Amino acid sequence: MSPAIVLTALLSLMPAPSPKWNETQEQYLARAEVIAQAVADASDGKRQRAMAILTVFWGESRFSPLIHAGTHRGDGGHAICLGQHQQLTRTKEDWEALAGTDLEATTRCARATGDALVRSWHYCHGLNPKFDYPEAFVLYGTGRTCRANESQWKNLFIDRADKWKVLVANGRLQ
């Protein structure tokens, strides 16, 4: 998977930094290039996986530099990096290493996100062979179900599925 394709997809989701971030367009583009390279590296050449990682990053963090750096954590301080990972079975050191705006940390976060998505995909696909990444997004986000309609965040997961489908379709055109 080409980092250029991932960058194009990232910029289609968020072409400019949020005014709240105090980040210039140039700073944002430089950070977006790091994110794109990390996602490309972590996707093992698989377009659907790359777009799934990017969709989760967008959905969980909107590519915020504060979340990216690890200075702001979600879920009451229990979730870190663009993929908003909880510590779970990781050591505190390994968990904290997921945050950071450099390529190495961003790649660790992207790989952890991709690995979790693949596990979610396999679990959901095992329940129903028609299940794909849209259902994996639900399990990734809830930790308990593959069905968006069983979640209080149904519309959020439907939006992620729709965004992923567009990104995958657009990537085929390039």
What's the pLDDT at 171?
62
Q: Which residues pair with 29 in a beta bridge?
A: none
The letter for the amino acid at 111 is R
Residue whose pair of structure tokens reads 């849209």 in the numeric block:
134
Closest residue by Cα to residue 112 from 145, 86, 148, 147:
86
Q: What is the pTM of this model?
A: 0.95
**CATH, residue 147:** 1.10.530
Distance (Å, whole) CA 109 – CA 51: 15
CA 66 centroid distance within chain? 15
What's the pLDDT at 114?
98
Distance (Å, whole) CA 111 – CA 129: 25
Q: Using an 8 Å Cβ cutoff, are 54 and 43 in contact? A: no
What total number of domains does the chain contain?
A: 1
The residue range of the domain holding 149 is: 3-173
What's the pLDDT at 174?
45
What count of other Cβ atoms lies within 10 Å of the Cβ of residue 13?
A: 16
C-alpha triplet 35, 39, 40: angle, nearest 5°: 115
What's the pLDDT at 173?
47
Residue whose pair of structure tokens reads 């994996």 in the numeric block:
136
Distance (Å, whole) CA 141 – CA 84: 9
**Exposure string for 127-162, b = 16+ CB within 10 A, e = fewer:** eeeebbbbbbbbbbbbeebbbbeebeeeeebebbbe
Per-residue model confidence as pLDDT tens for the chain (174 residues): 899 999 999 999 999 999 999 999 999 999 999 999 999 999 999 999 999 999 999 999 999 999 999 999 989 899 999 999 999 999 999 999 999 999 999 999 999 999 999 999 999 999 999 999 999 999 999 999 999 999 999 999 999 999 999 999 986 644
